[in-house]
A and B are shown apart, each in its own frame.
Chain A
Amino acid sequence: KAGVTQTPRYLIKTRGQQVTLSCSPISGHRSVSWYQQTPGQGLQFLFEYFSETQRNKGNFPGRFSGRQFSNSRSEMNVSTLELGDSALYLCASSLGLSSYEQYFGPGTRLTVT
């Protein structure tokens, strides 16, 4: 079974721009969660989607948004990028909501200049 895939793997953007990251979960997994990982803050939960509905949301500003499609694929959007948004963005899929084990993708490394 194929693992979680994320595209693109690397991205360089300028302050003020917006970016869209994509995540394809493991086949059969209906839950997709997004995390921001930085050296200083560890793994920060962004949001979780299950069956196209946002079920949980972390403490991030409204510039961070996401959605999930009927095939469980998910996208995350960050508008008006700031330097502090530079991070590794990880997507994780699971069979059910976050009480199930999470299968992480390789991440998208976003650099904002």
Chain B
Amino acid sequence: GQQVMQIPQYQHVQEGEDFTTYCNSSTTLSNIQWYKQRPGGHPVFLIQLVKSGEVKKQKRLTFQFGEAKKNSSLHITATQTTDVGTYFCAGGNTGKLIFGQGTTLQVKP
């Protein structure tokens, strides 16, 4: 069945360093969504990408959707302690939304 793989599983960075998480699907996606889950919280929608090669920015966060619509990335510039949490990608295909395993980001002040 369709799989969405996310790497790395964990990332520890010093505050101010950059961070990137990658998402890869075994099949072509109709869209990709990104969510953030703070410790003890629930996933919160960040953004959706639909077009091949699409790039969207939200302040220090940059989201990309691959040309083949099978991969995506989230890049955070100059991390802050408020960025701590688990970032999930979710690929849409055949009406289902399949979540990746998530990347847990720890930021050392």
Seen from chain A, the residues whose Cβ lies within 8 Å of a Cβ on chain B are 33, 35, 41-45, 48, 55-56, 58-59, 90, 92, 97-99, 101-107
Q: A33 with B97: in contact, given A42-B102, A99-B31 (CB under 8 Å)?
A: yes
Q: Which residue of A lies closest to B46 (CB)?
A: A101
Total residue contacts A-B, CB cutoff 8 A? 56
Q: Is the CB of A56 within 8 A of B42?
A: no
Q: Does B55 lie at the interface of the complex (its beta carbon under 8 Å from any beta carbon of A)?
A: no
Bound complex: CA A107 to CA B38 (Å): 13
**What are the residues of chain B within 8 A of A48 when measuring CB–CB?**
95-96
Bound complex: CA A101 to CA B96 (Å): 12
Nearest-neighbour CB distance to chain B for A101, whole angstroms, equals: 4
Most buried by B among A45, A101, A103: A101
Q: How many B residues, CB 8 Å from partner?
A: 22
- If A43-B43, A56-B96 are given as contacts, then 9 extra A-B residue pairs at C-beta distance below 8 Å, sorted by A number, are A48-B96, A90-B42, A98-B92, A98-B96, A101-B33, A101-B48, A102-B90, A104-B42, A107-B42
Nearest-neighbour CB distance to chain B for A105, whole angstroms, equals: 7
Q: Which residue of A lies closest to B31 (CB)?
A: A99
Seen from chain B, the residues whose Cβ lies within 8 Å of a Cβ on chain A are 1, 30-31, 33, 35, 41-45, 48, 88, 90, 92, 95-102
Q: Is the CB of B44 within 8 A of A45?
A: no
Bound complex: CA A62 to CA B64 (Å): 38
Bound complex: CA A92 to CA B98 (Å): 13
Nearest first, the 6 A-B pairs at minimum CB distance are: A43-B99, A98-B97, A42-B101, A104-B42, A101-B45, A104-B43
Nearest-neighbour CB distance to chain A for B97, whole angstroms, equals: 4
Q: Is the CB of B99 within 8 A of A35?
A: yes
**What are the residues of chain A within 8 A of B42 when measuring CB–CB?**
90, 104-107
**What are the residues of chain B within 8 A of A59 when measuring CB–CB?**
1
Q: A55 with B95: in contact, given A90-B42, A99-B31, A105-B42 (CB under 8 Å)?
A: yes
Bound complex: CA A107 to CA B42 (Å): 7
Q: Is the CB of B99 within 8 A of A99?
A: no
Q: Can you pick out 26 interface pairs between chain A and chain B where the beta carbons lie within 8 Å of each other?
A: A35-B99, A41-B101, A42-B88, A42-B99, A42-B102, A43-B43, A43-B88, A43-B90, A43-B99, A44-B99, A45-B97, A45-B99, A56-B95, A56-B96, A90-B43, A98-B92, A98-B95, A98-B97, A99-B30, A101-B33, A101-B45, A101-B48, A102-B90, A104-B43, A104-B44, A106-B41
